[in-house]
Amino acid sequence: MNSDGSLRSTQPPATRRSIILFPLPFQGHINPMLQLANILHTHGDFHIIIIHTQFNSPNPSKYPQFTFQSIKDGNTEYQYNITTLTDDPIYIFNYLNENCVDTFKDCVAGLIQQEPVACMITDAAFFFTQAVADELKLPRLVLRPSSVLCAVVYCNLTLFYEKGYFNCTNKDPFYDAPLPEYPIIKGKDISKISTKPLGHKDFANKMFEYMKQSSGIIWNTFKELEQPELETISHNFPIPHFTLGPFHKYFSGSSSSLIDEDRTIMSWLDTQPPKSTIYVSFGSVACITESEFQQVANVLENIGLPFLWVVRPGLVTGSKWLESLPETWLERVGEKGRIVKWCCQKEVLAHRATGCFWTHNGWNSTMESICEGVPMVCSPCSYDQPLNARYVSDVWKIGVLLEDGFEKEGIEKAIKKVMVDKEGDEIRERINALKEKLNLSLKEGGSSHKSLKNLVDYISSF
């Protein structure tokens, strides 16, 4: 252990090259970056160095094969947290980009003096790292942990802002209609992306500007899922693209969750019939109102199916945990349902009892559901989620989008469509077919397998 508290692994052999990885310090970004680190360590035999902020730092003890270096992020007087993030995430992203420059540059400069470093891989949202890479003459690849379709749509945020799509209401003709510029998406999908669209589109434009200057983009997706979008983004960003996802399918490693997982729930799932249980989770950041929370509770009580509901502390705006539940709700539900603060989602989705996933459609959750062939009921909140949900419902047709939000009749109809009706069987067939394509992509000769080999060869060429 160094004097600054960082953990150091054994110095790698002179012939073994290192890769520096720098994740954005939030659950949906740390997970895929650490998964990518494991992939490159295992399949490329690289020495992995993880530079991380003090805020939301990963647990080094879970990854003894890596070197961890902590840097100061300017967070000495202002203690930001998840609540602040959901209020204004763009402020946090800009804050980190402004306050990590010197400490990150000094850390990288010190590392390249100690050992041979092939390149750095940073989260695309850390756009400042391109200037650092250029100054230190080190190739920079970026990890974009969202879908390719999200990047394609985000490239048009300035146009959508000028057209007024962000502020559209159900009185506008394009609210529930396909957009002329991108017919797959509707106006209401764009309106959900951000409550502060000016800052959001300015940040996205800056991020894409520096992505184009990078040495390549790594995507946590597979070619067969987003072929048209990959062709579009490759034309707009004429640099190497690597689609070697889904990352978590390469290994069964330790969890990188920032929240403690309740594993006792698995024994309850074991008692449920196959494909009978509704799994409900809205991710690590999304928030819902007390009224929406109560609607979810009422539907789960009345639907007549077993359920596992993840209620993360802070999920309900203005509430600590379960105080917004209807009176005596827990007693009435009894053994039919379970509430946990957090769980191992991949294991729950893979469990034989899980019949559908009521999700916010973050990209990690969407990919994990596809991996296990679990149909989705979609309740997107913001950012990339409305776009992912639209594709799940209208393009891939592997789930049902709640077009009217947390409206009781719509929710019940969607769940019954997936879990009970004949249409649910058709949805399940489609997602299982997509799951099979995914599995084939990971096998030798498959698209993701080839892309990983290309990435390893590319990094080795630096």
pLDDT in tens, 231-280: 999 999 999 999 999 999 998 755 556 677 888 999 999 999 999 999 99
CA–CA dist 75, 106 (Å, integer): 18
Q: What is residue 117's predicted lDDT score, i.e. its pLDDT? A: 97
Is the Cβ–Cβ distance between 284 and 312 less than 8 Å?
yes
Active site residue 29: yes
Instruction: Out of 47, 52, 73, 123, pick the active-site residue.
Output: 123
Q: Looking at the domain 18-166+193-255+441-460, which fold is it?
A: Rossmann fold (3.40.50)
Q: Long-range contacts: 394-400, Cβ < 8 Å, 24+?
A: 394/184, 395/184, 396/225, 396/430, 396/431, 396/434, 397/427, 397/430, 398/370, 398/427, 398/430, 398/431, 398/434, 399/369, 399/375, 399/427, 399/431, 400/375, 400/376, 400/427
Is the Cβ–Cβ distance between 245 and 224 less than 8 Å?
no
What pTM, to 2 d.p., does this model score? 0.93
Domain 18-166+193-255+441-460 matches domain 265-439 at the CATH topology level: yes
Comparing 1 with 353, the larger pLDDT belongs to 353
Active site residue 123: yes
Judged on CB neighbours under 10 Å (0-12, 13-18, 19+), 360 is buried
Residue ranges of domains in the chain:
18-166+193-255+441-460, 265-439
* Model confidence at 461: pLDDT above 80: yes
CA within 13 Å, CB half, 112:
18
Domain 265-439 has CATH 3.40.50.2020: no
Residue closest to 438 by CA, chosen among 220, 152, 150, 144 = 220
DSSP state of 316: B
CA–CA dist 447, 284 (Å, integer): 30
* Model confidence at 8: pLDDT above 50: no
Instruction: Give the CA angle between residues 265, 268, 272 to the nearest 5°.
Output: 135
- Taking the mean position of all CA atoms in its chain, how far away is CA 410? 26
* Model confidence at 373: pLDDT above 60: yes
Q: What is the pLDDT of residues 384-416, one digit of tens each?
A: 999 999 999 999 999 999 998 999 999 999 999
| Residue 461 parent element (H or E) | none
Residue 19 one-letter amino acid = I
CA–CA dist 245, 222 (Å, integer): 5
Give the mean pLDDT of the chain.
92
